[in-house]
Structure 1
Amino acid sequence: MAAREKSLKHRQQSVNNTFETSGIDSSAVEEKLFGQVEADEYGEDGPVVFICGKCKLPVGDSMSWDGSEDGQNQIRLKRVTDNVFVGKDTRVYEASKRSPCLIVDLLCRGCHSVLGMVFTSTPKNLDHKRFTFCFNVADIDSYVLGSASQMLAAEGPKEQPVTLEYRGIVEQQLIEMKMLVVAMAQRLEEIEAGLQGGM
């Protein structure tokens, strides 16, 4: 029992550490990347799922957020899905005139589109990019979880809430219907009696 509690405490502590090191402001992510913020009914954004811009396979999410490069129109993620694979060919990439880097391409497993790059060797000023997944914003799309708003209309007439006033109206209608049925039954008996007497 004590080992299980210790294991649960360790798991909780590692979960807390994960969220502490990857503090995500998804509204800032959406605003920076796409210039729009899709708010849900509570005014907050949900997590963002990043998808391939061509075949729409999910490639990552905002829970792995590592930062963005506004000048280069890129985002960085710490982890990606299995729908992304790292190319084999290393090439030289110059982020600026005095910053040559070695990179490999990030490719979509579904359509083989180039989605971004992984920096394998960088000058000191770009060390923060090394061995993170850098996606080109132009090559990916995003979806904010919880942003769906379309619903099917309920079939049949719109239901009214049951209030005391509504209940009183329904009870009055039932009484009137009952009186009508009783009156019709009496009239039917009279007609049947008249038919039997005339035979």
Structure 2
Amino acid sequence: MAARGSLNLFKHLQKNVNATFESSSVDSTAVEEKLFGQVEEEEDDGPVVFICGKCKLPVGDSLSWDGSEDGQNQIRLKRVTDNVIVGKENRLLEVGKRSVCLVVDLVCRGCHSALGMVYASTPRNLDHKRFTFCFNVADIDSYVLGSATQMLAAEGPKEQPVTLEYRGIVEQQLTEMKMLVLSMAQRLEEIEIGLQEESDEA
């Protein structure tokens, strides 16, 4: 369930980077339901791996899902991989007219791209965001485990199904080869007899 919902979400994001996680189409409760709810038709989907949008290093997965922020185009994770560097310098972030937060930046270890932030200090109405990893949706991508569909086609005679037509072709080829071997053996015998006669005459 997490897989399909999040994958559709990120496909939408890639098409419209400026309209990611639109509140009109997706809300945090819907995303959480898609990740943790139990919809029978989507039970076969695997978890989602979130990756850096630039260098594609994995930064986290949907098993650590904590929620999303529609208005700010962010998702929140409880845990991340070692590919995410948590900054040491605090900075002020104004999220509203009277709401100022203290944040530290999240940076990709591979390409040093900014991925999001951790809220170290928030107003009471934003306490749910404190000490979680908040990723900017525009800076990350996702991959659904188990979504691979490409397979190599079976090749070679060993993989070819044995049909009556195929069996007939093989038997015909074997018969032709047998006749060729017999013909060669007969010709070789004739050559040997000729050589022996020449040696007897000499």
TM-score grouping bracket, smaller chain normalisation: 0.5 to 0.7
Query: Matches of 1:191 and 1:89 in 2, distance apart?
Result: 95
Query: Matches of 2:74 and 2:13 in 1, distance apart?
Result: 17
Equivalent residues, number: 171
Instruction: Give 1:138 deviation, angstroms.
Output: 1.9
Counting only pairs closer than 5 Å after superposition, residues 1-199 of structure 1 correspond to structure 2 as: 25-35=2-12, 45-148=45-148, 160-194=160-194, 196-197=196-197, 199=201
Gaps of 5+ in 2: 15-41
Query: Matches of 2:183 and 2:141 in 1, distance apart?
Result: 70
TM-score, structure 2 as length reference: 0.67
SS of match in other structure, 1:35: helix
Query: Matches of 1:194 and 1:87 in 2, distance apart?
Result: 95
Query: Matches of 1:190 and 1:78 in 2, distance apart?
Result: 88
Query: Matches of 2:109 and 2:12 in 1, distance apart?
Result: 28
1:99-157: CA deviation from partner (whole Å, max 9, x where unpaired): 33222222223343321111122233322222110011122233333445666788878
* Deviation larger for 141-150 or 49-58: 141-150
Contact 1:30–1:36, Cα closer than 8 Å, also in 2: no
Contact 2:48–2:62, Cα closer than 8 Å, also in 1: yes
SS of match in other structure, 2:71: coil
TM-score, structure 1 as length reference: 0.67
1:74-100: CA deviation from partner (whole Å, max 9, x where unpaired): 111110011222222223323222433
1:60 counterpart letter in structure 2: G
Partner of 2:28: none
Gaps of 5+ in 1: 1-23, 38-42
Contact 2:91–2:102, Cα closer than 8 Å, also in 1: yes
Which of the pair has the greater relative contact order for Cα pairs under 8 Å at 6+ separation? Answer: 2
Contact 2:80–2:133, Cα closer than 8 Å, also in 1: yes
Query: Matches of 1:149 and 1:195 in 2, distance apart?
Result: 66
Instruction: Give 1:181 deviation, angstroms.
Output: 1.8
Residue 169 to residue 112, structure 1, CA distance change in 2 (3 Å): closer
Residue 87 to residue 183, structure 1, CA distance change in 2 (3 Å): closer
Contact 1:48–1:145, Cα closer than 8 Å, also in 2: yes
